[in-house]
Amino acid sequence: MTKPIRIIAGNWKMNSSPSEAVEYFIQIASLVQGQNKNQKQVIFPPTYCLNSDVKSAAEKAGFELGAQNVHWEEKGAFTAENSAAVLRKIGFNWTLIAHSERRQYFAETNETAAKRLKAALKSGMNVIFCIGETLSERESGKMFEVLKKQTLAALTIISESKPQEGQIFSIAYEPVWAIGTGKTATTAQAVEAHSFIRKTVSEILGSEFSQNLSILYGGSVTADNAKELLSQTEINGVLVGGASLKPEVFSKIIS
Ligand code: PGA
């Protein structure tokens, strides 16, 4: 049985222009020494940064690029959405799905997230599927119920069609109360949630699938707390927002 691949991902949200992105990769290339073959490094910039100039600068620095979302249809009358099939065709192989900001501000539901996941997997993209409870859900004792529902939305799709050979499906546990707030989950809280998610996956898809699944932690990850989080066997990577925007900070997390 192999170990889950480690994924260090940066979600730039609506920050950076294409030229700033190129500059970022030039800088970070000089800061990250040597490449770790067992680790994937992925940046999710705004869609307008997904072009060949940024891609080539990213590749030189050892990074792959991804979209922050994809639509469930390949094409059609869906203003402002992006097609997974087309992104994949033009060389962008990763996508986030159901980030909590999409759930909170743009009415993403477990149902629409599942549809997006299906399209992403069909296109051959690698996926980071985001889940996480709000503070009030945690405080009212609903955390496990919420995480289970969110996980099952993804697993229903995966049980219909497993990822292809070499295609990565991963889950990011991002407690909503920890995103952009400077409040990280404690290591124990993160491990508790990750173990629960892995158990849920194991019940539906079997232990081999769950043991190989990369589960990332996200929510106020910094250069100071990343090492401790990543030293837990349950935590197979991090999804980093604010701290991924500065090459000098993100390079520390990567190292
Ligand atoms: P943060 O964002 O690291 O700024 O908390 C994480 C995320 O939104 O993925």
CA–CA separation, 52 and 12 (whole Å): 18
CA–CA separation, 54 and 150 (whole Å): 33
| Residue list, ligand 1 pocket, CB within 6 Å | 11, 174, 179-180, 218-221, 239-243
**Beta-carbon contacts of residue 187 (< 8 Å; ≥ 6 apart):** 228, 229, 232
Residue 47 CA to ligand 1 center (angstroms) comes to: 18
Mean pLDDT over each residue of the chain, to the nearest integer: 96
pLDDT band at 159 (very low <50, low <70, confident <90, very high): very high
Kindly tell me if the per-residue pLDDT of 1 is higher than 70.
no
The 8-class DSSP code of residue 83 comes to: B
Residue 101 CA to ligand 1 center (angstroms) comes to: 10
The atom of ligand 1 lying closest to the CA of 219 is 5
Q: Which two tokens stand for residue 173?
A: 């546990």
**Beta-carbon contacts of residue 179 (< 8 Å; ≥ 6 apart):** 100, 101, 132, 218, 219, 220, 241
User: Alpha-carbon torsion 51, 54, 59, 60, what sign?
Assistant: positive
Residues with catalytic annotation? 99, 174
Question: What is the mean pLDDT of the segment spanning 97-111?
Answer: 97
Q: Which two tokens stand for residue 53?
A: 């100039």
Is 0.95 topped by the overall pTM?
yes
Q: What percent of the chain has pLDDT over 70?
A: 99
Ligand 1 pocket: which of 174, 240, 245, 253 to mutate (most atoms within 8 A of CB): 240
Residue 180 CA to ligand 1 center (angstroms) comes to: 5
Question: H helices of 41-90, where?
Answer: 52-60, 84-89
Q: Whose CA is nearest to atom 9 of ligand 1?
A: 241
